[in-house]
Each structure stands twice: as C-alpha cells, then as structure tokens.
Amino acid sequence: MILCVDPSEDDREATRAALDSTYEVRTAASLSDAQGVLSERPVECLVTEYDLSDGTGLELVRAVRNDAPDAACILFTDTTLDEIDTAAFGDVVAEYLPKDDPDAHDELASLVEHALLFRDQTAYPLPDDEDARVAALERYATDPESLGDSLDRLTELATALFDLDAAAIGLIDAHEQRFLSCFGISFGPVEREETVCTYALLDEGVTVIEDTSEDPRFEDNEGLQAADIRFYASAPITTPEGHTIGTFCVYGDDPRTVSERERELLSLLADEAMEQLVLRRRLRDSGGERDE
C-alpha cells in the first residue's frame, strides 16, 4: 500500500493520479490521519508533504520507520531544503523531491516504482536472488499447519545434539521472519532488520555468531537481549532450485564456538527441514492431502 499525505486536497489527488493505477493508494490530510492509516495496514511506500497541519513529514517518516521500517519514504513538498530542519531527524533517511519541478509528477512516479522494485531503503542487504527467493517461499510455505509435529521433532533433536536450550526453524519473507517451529524459545513474527537470519541469508553455508554482543550488527539488538541470546548458529534452508527461504537456528545464552562436525550436523537438520517442506508441497500438488 502507498500512503500519500498532503493537507491540500488538490495536491493530494494530483499525487495519487501520478502514481501507477495498479498500486493500492491511500490518502491522508494530516499527520494524525496518516498515523491512523499506519495502524491499520503496513505501508510499503510513503509520499508526504513536509508541512502538515499537525506536524511535519519527517515526524511521519519516523512513525513509518517504527511500524514498517522497510518502507520507502519520500518527501514530496513545496518546502525548500533550507527551510527543513533535518538535524533532529538525521537517522530516519528519506528521499526528497520538490513539487515545483516541471517534471515532478513523472519523477515521483519513477522514484516510487524504483523504490518498490529494488527496496533500497532497507537497513539490511538483500540477497541477489531476493525476488526469486520470495516467490519460492510463497510456493513452499502456503500451509504451515500441515507440517504437524515433524519440524518440532527436528528442533528438539537439535537442542539435544548441540547441548543447547533453544532451536528454531524460520522462513524469511519480504519483510519479516516467521517461525515454523520453536523449541525452548518462543518467537512471533520479527521484522527482518531485527533478525540475525537476515544477514545469514547472504552467507554461504553455516553462519556462526559466537557472541552476538560482540558483533556490531547485533550488539544493540533488543530482541536478542530480551530472549537472552548470546550465541547463534544457523544453516540455510534452501529449495531444490537453490533459493534460500529460511534458516535452521540454534541459540545459546552464553558465547560458544562450533566444530566442523557441528556445522555438518546443522546443515543436515536444515536439509531435513527442507525435505519436509518439499514433500508437503508435493502432497498438496498431487491433491493427496485430506482434511483430518
């Protein structure tokens, strides 16, 4: 969903009209109206005027970064840069496009299209095969309920193998990591920029973070601190076509190292989890699954 915010109704409608009609576009006239829309639905792109009657566009960008951190944010405005105080908002990051440019609406349309296609305001790197990966994920993760206890058995085995208290199997979609199985720990969906697995996706093979508190990517991560995670290791869950859709993770509350043999074992567990997903998919495709 694209959210266009502008106190001027004419400008708001002109902005909406400039965007490709295939997008779902919502509009709002003020900061508080916009915040109401944000609380209902995740936003993928924000196009906002700077001067809103009850606040500024940068305040709104900050709100969007809280609710939907990956969203592309664009200030589309009559206010010049010299009049905008960005110092207090130095960490939010947004695009800037003045409305008075003769090609402003064309430029806006192209900026929005590029931002949605390449998702280049995320705070984490994307794998080269991101689009194919997410498409593959949708094919394998349509019916997680059908997996029953099979993955739970694997995560339980993993904790015993590694002599740790917690293990999980998570799939990483465009914006979130969702867990198919957790043992000894419990996670709801987690924003991608908050998870270690987001970075593991770009690694070849097994990823080991011996001490998360010593890694600049995770030292301030509140989710890890809350779950008391200091040690992390994961193996990629990769489709037969070669796209990594998730990870098989083990966690510990103390720093730890991993042996070569343990790396192999973790990979075997990840391959077994993938096999389960492949088999369920085949079952679905052949129509062999019945309601119990």
Partner 1 sequence: MSDDYRFTDLPLDDIRPGTSVLVSGPTHDGSRSLGMQMLAGEYDEGAIIVTTNQRASRMAEDCQRFGIDVRDDRTAILDCVGDDDDPDVPARVLPVSGPADLTGIGMRFSDVYREFKTTDIDRVRTGLCSVSTLLSFGDLRTVSRFVHTLVGRIDKVDGLGVFVVDPTGHDERAINTLAQFCSGQIEVRDRDGSAELRTRGLSDQPREWTPFDAFP
Which residue lies nearer to partner 1 by CB, 37 or 104? 104
Distances (CA, A) of 100 to 12, 14, 103, 238: 14, 13, 8, 49
From CA 131, how far away is CA 129, in angstroms rounded? 6
Question: In the bound complex, what is the minimum distance in angstroms from residue 52's beta carbon to partner 1?
Answer: 17
Give the bridge partners for 182, in sequence order: 168
Binding flag, residue 268, partner 1 (CB under 8 A) = no
Q: How far apart are CA 79 and CA 8, in angstroms?
A: 14
Residue with tokens 């994307």: 126
Burial track 247-277 (b if 16+ CB lie within 10 A, e otherwise)? bbbbbbeeebebeeebbebbbebbebbbebb
CB of 247 to partner 1, least distance (A): 17
Among 26-34, 110-118, 231-239, 263-271, which window interacts with partner 1 (CB under 8 A)? Answer: 110-118
Site string for partner 1, 39-68 (x = CB under 8 A): -------------------x----------
| Strand pairing class (2-5; 25-28) | parallel
Task: Please name the residue ranges forming H helices in the chain.
Answer: 9-18, 31-40, 57-67, 104-118, 130-140, 150-162, 197-200, 222-226, 260-285
Give whichever of 215 and 271 is closer to partner 1, judged by the CB atom. 215
Q: How far apart are CA 1 and CA 94, in angstroms?
A: 17
Exposure of 252 in the CB half-sphere (CA atoms within 13 A): 20
Number of residues that bind partner 1 (CB under 8 A): 37
Q: Which residue lies nearer to partner 1 by CB, 32 or 86? A: 86
Q: Confirm if 125 and 202 have CB atoms less than 8 A apart.
A: yes
Closest approach, Cβ 232 to partner 1, in A, equals: 13
Cα distances from 208 to residues 6, 22, 47, 260, in angstroms, run 47, 42, 39, 11
**Least distance in angstroms from the C-beta of 80 to partner 1:** 9
User: Least distance in Å: CB of 266 to partner 1?
Assistant: 20
Residue closer to partner 1 by CB (options 155, 234) is: 234
Q: How far apart are CA 56 and CA 186, in angstroms?
A: 38
Interaction residues for partner 1, span 179-238 (CB under 8 A): 193, 199, 202, 215-217, 220
Q: Smallest distance, Å, CB 201 to partner 1? A: 11
| Pick 126 or 265: Cβ nearer partner 1 | 126
* Residue 258 interacting with partner 1 (CB under 8 A): no
Considering only residues 114 through 143, tell me which ones interact with partner 1, judged by CB under 8 A: 114-115, 118, 120-125
172 binds partner 1, rule: CB under 8 A: no
Residues that bind partner 1 (CB under 8 A): 58, 75, 81, 84-87, 89-98, 101, 107, 110-111, 114-115, 118, 120-125, 193, 199, 202, 215-217, 220
